[in-house]
Each structure stands twice: as structure tokens, then as C-alpha cells.
Amino acid sequence: MKRNPYIPIDVKVDKIRFETDDKLIKTFDLVFLDKKDEEEFMYFPGQFAELSILGKGESPIGIASSPTEPGFLRFTVMKVGVVTTALHNFDEGAIMGVRGPLGNWYPIEEMKGKNIVIVGGGFAFTTLRSLLIYMLDKKNRKDYGDITCIYGARSPGLLCYRDELAEWEKRKDMSLYQCIDWKFGPKGPLEEAAVEGWEPINLKEPVKTKLKPGSKKFTAFVPQLVSAVKPGAKDSYAIVCGPPIMIKFTIPVLTELGFPPERIINSLENRMKCGIGKCGRCNIGPKYVCKDGPVFSLKELEKLPKEY
Amino acid sequence: MENTEKKIREVAQKLLKDKKVNLVIGFEKGTLPWKSRPVFIRKHEDADKLVWNQFCENNLAVYIPFYKKMLDKGNTIAVIAKGCDARSLILHVQENVAKREQLIIIGVPCEGMLDRRKIEKEVAPGEITKIILKDDSVTIKTEKEETEQKQSNFLSDDCIMCTHRKPVVYDELIVVNIKEPPGVKRETILNEFEKKDPQDRWKYFSEEVSRCIRCYACRNACPGCYCNECFVDCSQPQWIGTTVDSETDLQLFQIIRTFHLAGRCVNCGSCSRACPMDIDISLLVSKLSQDSKQFFNYETGLEIDDMPMLNKYSEDDSNEGFFEEH
Amino acid sequence: MKDSSKSIKYIEKEKLGAFIAELQKEYVVIAPKKVKEFVLFEIIRENEKPVLDFRNSRQSPKEFFFPQTENIVEYEGIIDKRVPLTRDTEMQKRIIFGIRPCDIRSILILDKLFINEDYVDSYYKRLRDNTLLFAYGCNEPRTTCFCSSFGIGPFEEKGTDGFLTDLGDGYLVEGFSEEAKKAIANLPDAAKETIEKKEKCKKLSNERAASSVPIDTIPEKLRTMFEHPLWEDITERCLGCGVCTYLCPTCHCFDIQDEMIDEKGRRVKNWDSCMFPIFTLHGSGHQPRELRYQRMRQRIMHKFNYYDDNFGIIACSGCGRCVTECPVNIDVREILNKIKKS
């Protein structure tokens, strides 16, 4: 008999660490109490789960770990509401619940043989980490072409997974470009580097920037950095995940670069409760973000009403 | 009645034509025999849609907070107002929802509205197909029969207890002679209820409230309920449980809502009328109005320069009923 | 008329009480009861008689499948050690007596959402699997009924286990499913003329229920109407309360909430409404449906376009409850006609 989709699966909080310097984001590694549950929890990069704290509620969070790293589920969570605050107050060893895996995933099959451009902003990098780890896995790396990752946050201390970023920076089989936001003066962003070592991109016309070979860290907004890096659109997929404002300005840049809508992939967020397409609150037109998403191509989104 | 309607249309038309107002809120013919419904007129040629009869039951002041943005831009709204609507509008002015000069109150003396539930009860299980109002009679037609009765038999309870049929504050007054329906004093009805012992009163209240389905129609139909975030919707902190199987939460909702209306309720009866489960909400708010009158000699929305009851303090305020020890 | 696949019985009105008592030996009987001046479906207690001279109940019996508040997980203990307690899934069989055909259709509509190949809502399914539906033909539909718009007549039998028809002195009781046949086996067989009488009732009522809204092209039409001035126009008088959605027999949106009393806690499904702004409000403060008209659009679109897209059926059965109970007379029939004309 199929599992009751409303009942959370028991897990233990195995490891907790601060992810960002503002201490608002923590990463939790969860392990299943029952080995059988772990075997049944088959997931792919891009899916999410409802983190469940009985007595507090549930919160839908993207899975940051990759199926290629078995033994735990990783979630990176910002402290915002009742549930996430309770979670942040947990110590290692706490027992809680997980419902999932929920939703669809990045088109990992369809993207085989293609170049991949990952564009992420802030703490929405979680499922992109999952995807990156998945593709970089020894067994899978050969299935994909060039991998380019462009990732930005407001400041260096707000970038997630900094140890891993440092490792990826050194890898030969992918290119990683990181950026942090411009420093602001009274009249808007200042043209100088926000922090030493974070080279500024041409503020007004980022596309005219000539990237120095070897530079990997920039002062720029993510869409500007995408303009400057100019990833090739031929045989490429772009996976975009970040705050709405970043997505809004990144998509025209990708379109300009020649990415067709069916090869621009987004992951959406909406207020959710059940996660299984029943409770009726996360729909955009006839599609439920929880069940039919959260991953949509721009082509699919163009068919939906702009109500998100 | 027809005469009143004609005058209302003329006034509305002129206000719109002279660009004195951007919007007139009044009533139009509804799709059901027992219902006239709110209508929003922006063009003078549409003023003929306006109707006036004893089914114009909604308190139209409820819409004013929806137009906050429009009012902030300096626009002006005219409202066709019964005594109770006008009092709620004054409340809105006192509470800075709108400036006095932005509200054109077209006062219409009111003979009391008819309660459709009472009419339905009269013909049940027959189905009302048509209602004809003439002078002080009402003819109710069902598929099979027809009955003519006095309108006063079907007056809504809150209208029976009404203390201000004619708008107290207004900009235009539709001058008509209204017959004073057989009013019953609020005290009389409440005293009757208060004669019961506390257990019986509590039993009545809790049975009524146990039917609540938390659709919040009472709150949303109330001109006084316009908080940006209602206490029932607040999640941090959460003041009240969310279920319907907890009696306490249902009671708490009604009690707290009522207290929020202390000195702010005009007893228009909109809450009770809107309730799809026929909960006697009026009784509770009625008591509150009686206390306001008795302890503070205060009635909501009568004087434009006055402050809402709980916003002012006077050394002469009664302490009675305040911290009573039992 | 001689249909061997069903059993046709007759019961005099005065014997209804005894029949209900007989059913109660095996079933929990749910039937219309008078509450104040209106009718609701409730569990019939011993020696209680259902009220069958009603047009329709104020609320549909939806809550017997999708309760307004329903426990889904129970738990206890300190916060970082809690696990779900296992619950007893045994339940006594129920029979709903006197449910109108439009409300039966509504249950069939809800089935598609709660029991489908993606996920099965086991709470809904358990209640559904253990309940027999005895429909009650509408001799006198309400003036606000528009069920015939959806191909449902006042004597529609689809989805029922049995059927009840008021013939004046008594009821014709038909059993379609095996279990329903068993439940009515002890009643006397109906005479030929009573069966004919039912056919007459049916014919008469079908003619009465002619009030209908042409909905055939609506789902398709709505596809291109997301941005349309109509929404603001029909919404201006809306108070934003939940009457339409909470009285609707097909509305199914819900919230999930946790509640603790001392050390005992429960997670519940509660009805929720797309008409409430808080329904879609993000934790960040972002609000995809900020304005009243956007919420009204969602309600209409969900029923008449999205649901049809996803499940091939419109999520309305024409019961007219939203029409009669809306405090400001927002009439969905009128809205549908406007959509049709625009």
C-alpha cells in the first residue's frame, strides 16, 4: 500500500551549521530513522520536501543534497517563520519529519549531451547545488558538456556553501563565476569594487566588459555578470534560480544571448501547504507549483498567467 | 418609495455631472426577489440604475476602506446612506479612513429593512418567486400561492430597535415622510434576555456560535471591521486557534470581534444578515451598544467632531461595569 | 421499467422512522435535520426523524467527506522528540440519506481531486469508501437551481447507491448498488403504479428545472480572459468573505495547521478560501493575488477553467447556494452569462 502522503517520515537532525555570516541561514543534514524509508525516498535534483515539526507546522524547502551523495538529506533554511525558527532552535539529535520527495525536477535526462549554465542568486542556490553535485559526480560528468556556474549574493559572507565554492573554483571540468552586489552611494551603485579582490564589471554596459583570464570573482548583479560572461547558447541549457528580481532581469539577458525559452529552466516558489496538488493555494493558472513544478521552462511559463 | 428613488437618482446624477464626486455608491435591483444590492456608479447616465426599497439592507459604508488609495489621492465618494450607513461613515471620518469633505452623504430616511429569512419562513418550504412592496404591504408570491401581509411583520430585528432612522449627519437629505414603524426599545429586548439566568444565556450564546463556519462574512460585512490584519489571521503571534471543532475558538472569535466594536457599532445588523448560518450575532453587539449608552452616554457616529468612545477619557466616565468584582 | 439490476421498494411516510431505526442497526445514518429555520445534514440520533420536506440544505453534506476540521496527525511529547502516533482506521459504515443529485455530482467532482493517480488523500478515501449515498429526487427545484446546465437533472442517478422519491404518501426507494439493495431488502416491493408515479414526478420536475446557464463554451472562453475588465467589474461589490466558498459543495481548498493543548498535539486540515487575502500571502510578504478581483478571478477560473483542464469536468453543480447566500448578491449565473457574452 502506498504511504499516506500527509504523514511525515521520521528523521534525525544529524548535523547543523551556519551557512551565512548573518546567521540567518543554517544547513541541516537529516538522516532517516528507518533504513527502509531512505531506500524509498528516491529523489532527483530540483525536488523539494516539506520539513515537518509536529506542533509547529511544515515548510517546503528545496533539497540541497544530491542523490549521488547517499546517507543524508541536506536542507539550507532561512529563519523566517514559525517552523523555520523552531528548526533553527533545534540541536543535533532532534527528531523531526520530512514529507517528500515532492514536485518535479530539473530535466537531467533531456540535458544530457548539452552545455549547462547555472545561474543562481542568494540562498536559492540550494537545488542548484544538488544539480551541480549530481552532474559533477564521476558517473554522470561525461553525460554533460561544459558546465558554467554563475552565482551571486549581496556580500561574500552571504554566499552559501563557501567550502564547496572554493573547491569548484579549482576544478578544470567547470567554470565558476561569483559576484557580490555593488556598493551603493547616494545616487545608486558605485563603479568601484565592493570588496577587494571582487573585480567590478562595467556597470552601465556589462556586455562590454573584457574578463581578465583567471578572474573569477566580481562586483556585479547576477544579470550583469551573465552579460559579461556571455555563455554560449548553442546546445546549452540555462538553469535559473534566485529571487524574483534576479530572475526578471536575467531572462532577457539569456534571451539576448540566444537561449530559446524551452532551454531556460526556472524553479518557482509559491505559498504551499499540502505539497501534493490538493490544497489549492499554489496554482498558477491550471498548474500547481507543488505538483506540476517547481521546475518550469520559460516556454511553459509563457503559457501561464503572470500571477506569481 | 418611487418618489424617493427618483430623488436619489436626481441627486446622484447632478453630483456626477457637476464632477463633485468620482463615485456614487448606492443600490441597484438584485437578481433575487428579496435583494437590492450595492452598485457603484461613475457616469451620470448610469444613475438610473439606482433603486430604493426595503431590501436595501447592506451598510454601504463597508466599502469606504476599500477605496483608501482613491481617497488618499483626493477623490470624493458619495454614499446613499440610511441612518445606520451615515453613522458608520462618520465613524470612518473620526478614525481617519476618509476626510469629511471627501464623503458626500446622501441621507435617506429609512423605514426599516425587511428580513428575508422571516419572509422565507412565512412561505417555507415554498420558494419565493416574486415580492411586491406597496405602501405598507408586502405581497409574497411562490410557485403555488400568494400572500399579502403588513411589511412590519417582516422587519429586521435590528431595524425594529433602530434609534436613528434619519441620518444625523448628511450633505444632501432626501426629504420624504416616513412612517415610524412600531419600534421596540433595545432595552426591552435585552432585558427580556437578561432575565434568564447566566447558564441559560451562556447556553443560548454557545449554541448559536457553535454553528459558526468561520467564513468571516460577519466581519467582512461590518463597516467597523477593517483592520489591515484581523486578529484571527495573525500568525505571529497566533491569538486564536484555527479549527471549527473547538468551541472556545468560535466563542473567542465572536467575543473579541464584538469587543473590537465597542463604541463603534451602529447596530445596522449587517453581521447577522450576512451570516449564512443564521447566528444571532446582533444580540451580542446590541448589548455592547446598550452598555456604551448606559455607562458613557455614547452612541456611535452622531457627531462629526466627537472622538470614538474608547479614544477619549473623562474623569466623569462611569466605572460601572468596568472592573466588577464577583 | 422492469430493471432486474435494481430493486424498487416503497415505504409509507409514517414508517420512515422505523426504517431509519432498522438502518441504524448497521449504519450511522446521516440525513437532513432542521436547525433553527434551515436544514443541515447531521447524524440522526436514535428515535430521531429526518426532515424531508426541504428544497435543499444550507450546506451540502461535503463535510462528511472533507470535514471543515480534520485531524491528520496526532502526536505528543517534547518538541524535538515527537513522532506521529498511529491511528485506528476502522470506522462504522455510514449511509447518507436524502442527498440531492447536485450534491452527489459535487462528490464525484471532488473524487477526481482527492483520489487520483498522482496522490490519494487517504482521509477522504476512507470516508468515501465507507459511505452509501441515497439520493433524493427534487420534485420542486429552487428558483436558483441551475444543475441542468451541467447535465444533471433533479432525478440524476449517476454516482448514487440508491434513490428516494417523494410520492406524497410515501417514498419510492430504489437500490442500485449491491449494498444498497441489501440495506432496503426488508421493505415491500413497489407496485407498478407507484413506479409510474415516480416517472411522472421526474418528468414534471425536469421541466421545472429548465433554468439553466449555457456553460458549454465557458471553459474555452475563459482561457483567453485572464486579463479582462470583467473581473474588476464583477468584483467591486464583493466583501471578500468566505460564504461562497464555504457553502460550495465543490470548493476544496484547505489549510494545514498544528495545534497543541498541553503536551498533546494534532495537525489538522481546515477548510480555507481563495477569497481570503492570507490564502496566498508568502512569508516574505510577497502577495501574488493582492487585489479582490484577482481572488474572484481565481475562484471563477478554478471552477470553470482550471478544474476542467486538469480533470475534464467543471467544478460546479449548479446548486445555487452561493447565489442565495452571498451577502451582496454576487450571482454566479449572471457572471457566467457575462463571460459568455464578452
Same domain, residue pair B85 and B150: no
Could B125 and C54 be called an inter-chain contact, meaning their C-beta atoms sit closer than 8 Å?
yes
Q: Are the C-beta atoms of C32 and C40 separated by less than 8 Å?
A: yes
CA–CA dist A182, A192 (Å, integer): 8
Residues from chain A that touch B235, judged by Cβ atoms under 8 A, are: 81-82
Give B250 to chain A, closest Cα distance, Å. Answer: 21
Region C326-339: mean pLDDT is 96
Same domain, residue pair B64 and B128: no
In angstroms, what is the C-alpha Rg of chain C? 22
Q: What is the pLDDT of residues C258-303, one digit of tens each?
A: 998 888 999 999 999 999 999 999 888 888 999 999 999 999 999 9
5-34 in chain A: CB under 8 A from chain C: 5-8, 10, 13
Residue C1: predicted pLDDT: 43
β-sheet bridge partners, residue A296: A266
Q: Are the C-beta atoms of B156 and B99 separated by less than 8 Å?
A: no
Q: Which of C247, C273, C331 minimises the CB distance to B276?
A: C247
Could A281 and C283 be called an inter-chain contact, meaning their C-beta atoms sit closer than 8 Å?
no
Q: Among A58, A79, A82, A85, which would you mutate to test the B interface (most chain B Cβ atoms within 10 Å of its Cβ)?
A: A82
Residue C131 has pLDDT above 90, yes or no: yes
Q: Among B28, B50, B220, which would you mutate to test the C interface (most chain C Cβ atoms within 10 Å of its Cβ)?
A: B220
Q: What is the pLDDT of residues B79-119, one digit of tens each?
A: 999 999 999 999 999 999 999 999 999 999 998 999 999 99
Residues from chain C that touch B121, judged by Cβ atoms under 8 A, are: 37
Q: What is the pLDDT of residues B14-65, one digit of tens each?
A: 999 999 999 999 999 999 999 999 999 999 999 999 999 999 999 999 999 9
Asked if residue B242 is part of any domain, the answer here is yes
User: How high does pLDDT run on average in chain B?
Assistant: 91
Instruction: Please name the residue that has the C-alpha cell 434513490.
Output: C163
Q: Among A91, A102, A278, which would you mutate to test the C interface (most chain C Cβ atoms within 10 Å of its Cβ)?
A: A278
Same domain, residue pair B172 and B135: no
Residue B190 has pLDDT above 90, yes or no: no
Instruction: Please name the residue that has the C-alpha cell 498541553.
Output: C262
β-sheet bridge partners, residue C136: C164
**Length in residues, chain B:** 326
Q: How many domains does chain B have?
A: 2
Asked if residue B326 is part of any domain, the answer here is no
Q: Which of C253, C256, C288 minimises the CB distance to A58?
A: C256
Q: A115-267: which CATH number, 3.40.50.970, 3.20.20.10, 3.40.50.80, 2.60.40.790?
A: 3.40.50.80
Q: Which of C54, C144, C243 minimises the CB distance to B276?
A: C243
Q: How confident is the model at residue C2 (pLDDT cuts 50, 70, 90)?
A: very low
CA distances from B49 to A107, B41, C126 (A): 57, 8, 52
Q: What angle do CA C234, C240, C246 make, to 5 degrees?
A: 105
B54: nearest Cα among B118, B133, B121: B133
Backbone angles phi, psi at A34, to 5 degrees: -115, 125
**Would you give the DSSP letter of residue B151?**
G
Higher pLDDT, A51 or B176: A51
Helix, strand or coil, per DSSP, at residue A288: strand
Q: Which of B35, B213, B273 minimises the CB distance to C68?
A: B213
Residue B182: predicted pLDDT: 67
Same domain, residue pair B178 and B142: no
Could C79 and A56 be called an inter-chain contact, meaning their C-beta atoms sit closer than 8 Å?
yes
Q: Which of A8, A91, A280 minimises the CB distance to C253?
A: A280
Residues from chain C that touch A10, judged by Cβ atoms under 8 A, are: 83-84
Domain boundaries for CATH 2.40.30.10 within chain A: 9-102
Task: Tell whether A81 lies on the interface with B, counting CB pairs under 8 A.
Answer: yes
Give B274 to chain A, closest Cα distance, Å. Answer: 26
Domain extent listing, chain C: 7-208, 218-341
Backbone angles phi, psi at B296, to 5 degrees: -120, 5
In angstroms, what is the C-alpha Rg of chain B? 20
Contacting chains of B (3 CB pairs or more, <8 Å) are A, C
Residue B1: predicted pLDDT: 65
Could B213 and C59 be called an inter-chain contact, meaning their C-beta atoms sit closer than 8 Å?
yes
Task: Tell whether A281 lies on the interface with C, counting CB pairs under 8 A.
Answer: yes
CA distances from A43 to A12, A36, A100, A220 (A): 19, 15, 9, 34
Pairs across A and C, CB distance < 8 A: 124
DSSP strands (E only) in C51-117: 69-76, 94-99
Residues 6+ apart with CB under 8 A from C205: C137, C138, C139, C140, C141, C153, C154, C155
Q: Are the C-beta atoms of B270 and B221 separated by less than 8 Å?
A: yes
Q: How confident is the model at residue B236 (pLDDT cuts 50, 70, 90)?
A: confident
Please provide the DSSP assignment of B232-276 as one string. Answer: TT--TT--S---SS-HHHHHHHHHHHHHHTTTT-----HHHHH-T
Interface of C with B (CB under 8 A): 35-38, 53-55, 58-59, 68-69, 140, 142-144, 236-237, 239-243, 245-247, 255, 257, 259, 268, 270-271, 273, 276, 278, 292, 323-325, 327-329, 331, 333-334
Q: Which residues constitute the domain of residue B285?
A: 2-115+155-311
Backbone angles phi, psi at C243, to 5 degrees: -60, -50
Same domain, residue pair B191 and B293: yes
Residue C4: predicted pLDDT: 63
Residue C96: predicted pLDDT: 96
Residue A1: predicted pLDDT: 54
Burial group, residue B2, by CB count within 10 angstroms (0-12, 13-18, 19+): exposed
Q: Among C35, C58, C237, C299, which would you mutate to test the B interface (most chain B Cβ atoms within 10 Å of its Cβ)?
A: C237
Task: Tell whether C75 lies on the interface with A, counting CB pairs under 8 A.
Answer: yes
Quick one: closest CA in A to B235, which residue?
A82
Region C235-240: mean pLDDT is 96
Determine which of B47-61, B305-319, C46-60 has the lowest per-residue pLDDT on average: B305-319
Q: Among B127, B215, B247, B281, which would you mutate to test the C interface (most chain C Cβ atoms within 10 Å of its Cβ)?
A: B215
Residues from chain A that touch C260, judged by Cβ atoms under 8 A, are: 55
Q: Which of B129, B216, B245 minimises the CB distance to C241?
A: B216
Percent above pLDDT 90 for chain B:
70
Domain boundaries for CATH 3.40.50.80 within chain A: 115-267
Quick one: closest CA in C to A54, which residue?
C82
Could C79 and A55 be called an inter-chain contact, meaning their C-beta atoms sit closer than 8 Å?
yes
Quick one: closest CA in A to C73, which residue?
A7
pLDDT in tens, chain A (308 residues): 578 999 999 999 999 999 999 999 999 999 999 999 999 999 999 999 999 999 999 999 999 999 999 999 999 999 998 999 999 999 999 999 999 999 999 999 999 999 999 999 998 999 999 999 999 999 999 999 999 999 999 999 999 999 999 999 999 999 999 999 999 989 888 888 889 889 999 888 898 888 888 789 999 999 999 999 999 999 999 999 998 889 999 999 999 999 999 999 999 988 899 999 999 999 999 999 999 999 999 999 999 998 88
Q: Which of C265, C294, C306 minimises the CB distance to A54?
A: C265
CA–CA dist C171, C185 (Å, integer): 15
CA–CA dist A26, A210 (Å, integer): 36
**Would you give the DSSP letter of residue B133?**
E
Q: How confident is the model at residue C83 (pLDDT cuts 50, 70, 90)?
A: confident
Q: Which of C54, C241, C259 minimises the CB distance to B241?
A: C259
Under CATH, to which class is A9-102 assigned? Answer: mainly beta
Give the cell for residue B125. Answer: 418550504
